[in-house]
Chains A and B, each alone.
Chain A
Amino acid sequence: MNLIAICMIAFIAVFTILAGLAGVMRLITTLFPVRSGSGTDSAVVAAISSAVTTIFPGARVTQIEEQR
């Protein structure tokens, strides 16, 4: 098999697999939604976790609570 064919197959394969994973993940986020009232925006969770681990390496955020 020549390299052009190998590269084309590999490019198609990576798109197919990642597209498939995207579909599966969309499905599981739909099937298992965040329970109302218990969720914090995932971007906020990631941002806070990132900031905490930068300041305190190794630390983990286990709970985020909003106080009004």
Chain B
Amino acid sequence: MEAIRELVMSSGFVGLTWQNLVMFGIGGLLIYLAITKEYEPLLLIPIGFGAILANLPEANMWASNTAEHLEGASHPLLQMVYNVGIKTEFLPPVIFMGVGALTDFRPLLARPITFLLGAAAQLGIFVAALGAFYLFGFTIEQAASIGIIGGADGPTSIFLATKLAPELLGPIAVAAYSYMSLVPIIQPPILRMTTTKRERSIVIPPARQVSHTAVILFPILTGMLASLAIPPCAPLVGMLMFGNLIRESGVTDRLFKTASGPLINIVTIFLGITVGATMQGSEFLRPQTIYILILGAFAFSFSTMGGVLFARLINLLLPADKQINPCIGAAGVSAVPMAARVVQGFVSQETNGKVNPLMAAMGPNVAGVIGSAVVAGVFLALIG
């Protein structure tokens, strides 16, 4: 009888708190959204399940930046992954390599002006960072980490938060991936508000052709120049460009297949579940999490507006026959290729299928990936 009582007392049920129960609900919600709505399922399912695991009392399936390892004690499983993969900043750059291998930069090379839209669409990062610091009282390091949510780039958000504000990693990652999945809901009203019917109907002139040599030189030069200008962005931009080079070289098929397939999938699993494991109820259920979610929404909205309004500004300087459809500026928020697809869907619907700017929107879309990595590098250089 005593043994049974001991077994019951050592079970997780005894240690359950209301925070654990709420986190089970949040984890379940993320999994529900991933499965039924297909919102970023590759990440929300691991994050959601990681959040559930982290809140199982006595299971030791959580991970924390502040956890200290005691001599002779065994590592909790996900804490070990956290220490090796996230604390060392290993996993996000590997994801970037996979993204580079999966990304075709030709639409950007064909219209270099769209680099600027990718830069303008980082506006939300700064609006959110300033809001976090001046309105909600976060520290400069935390504010910068929260702001980068506006870059709509999950690995960059995780990379920066790990370095500047590891205590906020869970909420920042959840906000970043949640809002990335909500791009189809967030962007169309902003596009409608910031463009006229005439502007939405602009047909973008055909892009120039891009040679194989240019496609090969692009990752080499971009990796070098961006990393020379802002060295802290080298782990992200460098790996992104390396991934793209093995894609475009045409002679490293095995490396390309590994980087764009098994490797990025393995890393995504570990990154997702470990980020979820940082979401312990006692740490996650704080007012700061609500503030981060609010700021994340502002970050995405202002980034969208920044891209669109800058495209309108460029149009003022371009002759009538070379004007661009300003809606493609919204794709500068990264979230590849979701944002470009949203722009395509919106414009096509507004013009009854007459205007289809998908490939033009891919330019700012992939430029936004480079842009948000550069901003993260600048933050690290000035704050880190």
Contacts and interface: CB of A to CB of B under 8 A. Distances in A.
A22 B211 contact: no
Interface string B339-361: 00000000000000000001110
B209 A42 contact: yes
B370 interface: yes
A10 B359 contact: no
Interface residues of B, number: 60
| Residues of A in contact with B, size category | 35 or more
Contacts of A46: 104, 106-107, 359, 362
B144 interface: yes
Contacts of A33: 209, 211
Nearest to A35: B211
B378 A18 contact: no
Given A41-B207, A43-B110, A45-B106, A19 B126 contact: no
Interface string B249-264: 0100100110011000
Contacts, number: 144
Contacts of B370: 18, 21
A55 interface: no
A19 B125 CA distance: 19
B130 A25 contact: no
Contacts of A15: 116, 119-120
Given A10-B379, A22-B113, A26-B112, A43 B206 contact: yes
B226 interface: yes
Contacts of B112: 21-23, 25-26, 29
Interface in A4-59: 4, 6-7, 9-11, 13-15, 17-26, 28-29, 32-35, 39-43, 45-47, 49-50, 58
Given A24-B225, A34-B211, 18 more contacts: A4-B130, A6-B140, A10-B126, A11-B122, A13-B230, A17-B225, A17-B230, A22-B115, A24-B221, A25-B214, A25-B221, A28-B214, A29-B210, A41-B207, A42-B110, A42-B208, A43-B110, A58-B257
Interface of A: 1, 3-4, 6-7, 9-11, 13-15, 17-26, 28-29, 32-35, 39-43, 45-47, 49-50, 58, 60, 62
Interface of B: 104, 106-110, 112-113, 115-116, 118-120, 122-123, 125-126, 129-130, 133-134, 140, 143-144, 147, 206-211, 213-214, 217-218, 221-222, 225-226, 229-230, 250, 253, 256-257, 260-261, 358-360, 362, 367, 370-371, 374-375, 378-379, 382-383
29 contacts: A3-B133, A3-B143, A6-B144, A9-B378, A9-B382, A10-B125, A10-B126, A10-B378, A13-B374, A15-B120, A18-B115, A18-B370, A19-B116, A21-B222, A21-B226, A28-B214, A28-B217, A29-B112, A32-B211, A34-B209, A39-B209, A41-B206, A42-B208, A43-B206, A45-B106, A46-B359, A47-B358, A49-B104, A60-B256
